[in-house]
Structure 1
C-alpha cells in the first residue's frame, strides 16, 4: 500500500497558537532586550535560557520553544511553516518550498526534554540541522531526500 502525505497551510487556530508563544517568549525578556528575539542568534539564546528552567511537564512551553526554533531555521534556510499529515500523524513542520525538505522543529525540543536528552545545546543542534539541510539543498538529488 502506498503511503500518502498531505501538506496544508497553518489554520487560524494554529497561527494564533504560534503567535501566542512568539509573544510570550518575547515578553519573558526585559523590555529593552526584546528586540534580540528578532535575530536567529537571539531566538537560539532565548530558547537556551528558557530551557534551563523548563520541565518535561511544560508541554505547551516546550512546543512554544519549538515554534521559535522553527522560526530560526526558517530565517536561515528560507523555510515556512505548514502542517503535514502522513503515516506518523499530523504535525506542524517547516518546509523548503519546491523540495521535499521538511523539519519537525515544532516537537524537536519537547521530545528531547521529555525523553531526558538534556541538557540540550540549542546552538549545536541548530548548526547540525542547518548544515545537514544546506548539504541536502546543494545536492543534485534535492527532491529525493528524507525528512530531517
Structure 2
C-alpha cells in the first residue's frame, strides 16, 4: 500500500497511520485469551442449572445431580421429549454447563472466560496447554439447526478431545 503525503498534511498523522498498518498484524497474531471466570458468570451458570433442574423436576419428576450417567440420560430425555426446543438457548446451554461440570471434575479442568475476536465464551481450560473445550454450546448449536443430538456421544467426544490435549502435554 502506498500513501502520498501532501506538503500541507500533518507528518505525525502519516507516521501514526504507518505505525497502525505495521502493528495491525501483531494484534491479529494473538487472537484469543483466557481470563478467570467472574462472579457474574458463576451466577449466570448457577441460575441456568437451576432453571433446567426446575424444568426437569416439573416435567419428569427427576432432578440433576445423582450421577453423570443419570444426568446425561436426563438431558437426553428432555431433548427427546422436546421439552426444550432449539430456541431455548439458555436451557440448552445449561445442558452444556452440566456436561462441562462433569468434565471439569473428572479431568481437573477449570472454567474460564475465553475471549477472541468473535466475543467471549465460557470454556474449560486444559491445564498447561493453550487449548480450551467448549461444552456450553455443544448441545445448543446442534439444536438451533434442528440436528440430531446424542448427548452421550457429545460427552465422549469432549472427553477424547481432553485426553488428546493432555497427551500432547506429556509428549512435549
Q: TM-score, normalised by structure 1?
A: 0.81
Say whether residues 1:127 and 2:127 are aligned partners: no
SS of 1:81's equivalent?
strand
Partner of 2:144: 114
Q: Give 1 or 2 for the bigger CA radius of gyration.
A: 2
Which residue among 122, 130, 148 is the counterpart of 1:92? 122
What's the CA shift for 1:109? Answer: 0.9
Say whether residues 1:46 and 2:46 are aligned partners: no
Q: What stretches of structure 1 of length at least 5 have no aligned partner? A: 144-148
What's the CA shift for 1:93? Answer: 0.6
Say whether residues 1:8 and 2:11 are aligned partners: no
Q: Which has the higher contact order (CA 8 A, sep 6+)?
A: 1
Divergent runs of 4+, >3 A: 140-143
Relative distance call for 1:141 and 1:67 in structure 2 (3 A) is: same
* Structure with a larger share of its residues in helix: 2
Partner of 1:146: none
Count of aligned residue pairs for this structure pair: 141
Q: What stretches of structure 2 of length at least 5 have no aligned partner? A: 1-24
For the aligned residues, what is the CA RMSD?
2.4
Which residue among 57, 60, 84 is the counterpart of 2:90? 60
